[in-house]
Amino acid sequence: MHDSSLHRARLPLALVASTLAWLALAAAGPAQDRITGRGFATRSEILAMNGMAATSQPLATQVALDILKQGGSAVDAAIAANAALGLMEPTGCGLGGDLFAIVWDADTKKLHGLNASGRSPAGLTLAMLRERGLERMPALGPLPVTVPGCVDGWFELHRRFGKLPMAQLLAPAIAYARAGFPVSELIAHYWARSAARYARFPNFAETFLVDGAAPRKGEVFRNPRLAATLETIAREGRDAFYRGEIAKKIDAFMKEVDGLLRLEDLAEHRSEWVEPVSTSYRGHEVWELPPNGQGIVALQILNLLEGYDVRRMGFGSTEYIHCFVEAKKLAFEDRARWYADPAFQEIPVKALISKEYAARRRELLRPDRAGRSYPAGNPAVDEGDTVYLAAADRAGNMVSLIQSNYRGMGSGMVPGDLGFMLQDRGELFDLAEGRFNSYAPKKRPFHTIIPAFVTRGGEPFLAFGVMGGATQPQAHAQIVVNLVDFDMNVQEAGDAPRILHEGSSEPTGERMRDGGEVFLETGFPYASIRALVQRGHRVGWNVGSFGGYQAILRKDGVYHGASESRSDGQAAGY
């Protein structure tokens, strides 16, 4: 499952008619609510007082709970779960990827943000890429590889908020890597799709295949190579990865495959602690991390929606879907224009997420017609396949963490016998000159993975995230609207049918054409879909790109956990 746009299958035309008929039948009358919640709810919230974890793999959730029961902090639990997911869900994450996190510290009652994304190789220039005849960065191979930030992110989080030794946190993943674990259903599906894509690359089959094939659902998979790498990290610390034995193996491999990532790039890497940024939405403070990620898109969308009576519109109404899609289009034009590495460009974050800017931009929206294109705004005139997990502990600390190799399992580059694949995050650089996200050496690319947090009255309210590339900020905004405007509980907010708009302008240089396309999950009234078409929206059919949600909400001292009904995940507490 890759984070740039989860693997997607378009419905065959033969199925569209039957799907429309089913939707029409479902929309014939209001759905009967379950006794415990909305008709679309798949399960009740999980409730607990002492600790909670929500991940996309039940075994990883149990790893996190075990760490909490051993006296670990929320951050300890998150690191242990992330290490397990790197083994159990290599289709979305791993040691070769990047990491972002937002941590609520119960002692200081403050949020802390960590940007653990890596930079481009110092020895690769834009001129070199252009000399190869490239107009955009390839998705696979050595060129899109950037420094993996995950391991340094673990150690930075642990240094500030950890309680148990790192070796204890990595022990469950090491044990599973050696003894094996049964592959879950959805991951087996994406693993099989990845096998054909990566089979030609060195070390892939030896690391990720069993007798030449991807492991099937229920088949036990082992990765002793990854176990050995994690043991080295547990024993020697983060420098083993960035300066020692592991770094040297990565360097040697990249030279073999004509890559440009070098030992010096790894040795110079450092994560960055950043201040989360927020906007208010009807009495709630919604927090994201500033660029190079796309988190503030969600804040821009919410600022635009706050000018409408969304509650009156109602969930699933034509008016709500239309306003949401148009707000998304506006925000994504700014995303394409302004979002990049702030070390290379001055990004007007404060202006972009201001209420005044939203009010000006809202004037561009027509209530009766879909926009075919929108210009990026100029806020300066005002003032100058991913995994997500959440964990919370007895003391009230909460962490929102996301980690990814980007597209698919990554670049295809599996260094030596290390047991993991390097990310292809550099694919998101723009290869044109003079733009905010244009490629440069030692630069962090535009990033799609984003953790989120909500506070209320200065207290922690919700740690949440939704995997899935450009789906993520759209889904973040929808989760908040579902909770605040439509009075859903935390599980219902994730189960509710989602809206996804594709085709906006991109930070890689592509421009929106003909207004893009709207995709709606099953469950929206057919009357709303028909009315959207009449307003000029192109509505398509899309299976599998609606994201992967995990969340932990805190209310009156009780944790409420929720896990994505579209995947293999689990929320659990004790």
Q: Residue 548's pLDDT is what?
A: 87
Residue 353 banded pLDDT, cuts 50, 70, 90: very high
Amino acid at site 516: G
Q: Residue 545's pLDDT is what?
A: 66
Q: Residue 373's pLDDT is what?
A: 79
Q: Do 179 and 226 form a contact (C-beta atoms < 8 A)?
A: no
Residue 461 banded pLDDT, cuts 50, 70, 90: very high
Mean pLDDT of 468-488: 94
Q: Which residue has the tokens 């009357």?
A: 527
Classify the C-alpha dihedral 481-485-490-494 as positive or negative. Answer: negative
Classify the C-alpha dihedral 344-346-350-355 as positive or negative. Answer: negative
Taking each helix axis as running N to C, give the angle between helix 296-305 and helix 318-338, from 0 to 180 degrees, rounded to the nearest 10.
140
Mean pLDDT of 292-318: 97
Out of 379-383, 410-414, 430-434, 543-547, least confident range: 379-383
Residue 36 banded pLDDT, cuts 50, 70, 90: low
Which phi and psi angles does 283 have, rounded to 5°?
90, 5
386 is catalytic: yes
Query: Rounded to an integer, what distance in angstroms lies between the CA atom of residue 374 and that of residue 361?
Result: 10
Query: Rounded to an integer, what distance in angstroms lies between the CA atom of residue 457 and that of residue 439?
Result: 41
pTM metric for this prediction: 0.92
Residue 272, helix vs strand vs coil = strand
Out of 32-46, 56-70, 224-238, least confident range: 32-46
Comparing 543 with 98, the larger pLDDT belongs to 98
Q: Which residues contact 159 (CB under 8 A, 6 or more apart)?
A: none
Tokens of 317: 């109404």
Instruction: Provide DSSP, 503-520.
Output: ----TTS----TT-EEEE
Mean pLDDT of 540-566: 87
N residues, the chain: 574
Q: Residue 511's pLDDT is what?
A: 87
Ramachandran quadrant class, 496 (left: phi over 0; alpha: psi -120 to 50; beta: rest): beta
Residue 249: burial class (beta carbons within 10 Å; 0-12, 13-18, 19+): middle
Out of 17-31, 144-158, 491-505, 535-549, least confident range: 17-31
Q: Residue 218's pLDDT is what?
A: 97
Q: Residue 544's pLDDT is what?
A: 59
Domains in the chain, please, with CATH? 13-29+37-46+274-386+448-568 (1.10.246.130), 58-97+111-271+408-428 (no CATH)
Q: Residue 27's pLDDT is what?
A: 42
Q: Which of 207, 386, 471, 508 is catalytic?
A: 386
Q: Do 287 and 456 form a contact (C-beta atoms < 8 A)?
A: no
Question: Percent of the chain at pLDDT above 70?
Answer: 91
pLDDT in tens, 47-72: 999 999 999 999 999 999 999 999 99
* pLDDT of 377 above 90: no
| Of the candidates 217, 219, 220, the residue with the CA atom closest to the CA atom of residue 185 | 217
Q: Which residue has the tokens 């004509």?
A: 258
Q: Residue 488's pLDDT is what?
A: 97
Out of 6-15, 410-419, 527-536, least confident range: 6-15
Q: Which residues contact 377 (CB under 8 A, 6 or more apart)?
A: 330, 333, 334, 337, 352, 357, 360, 361
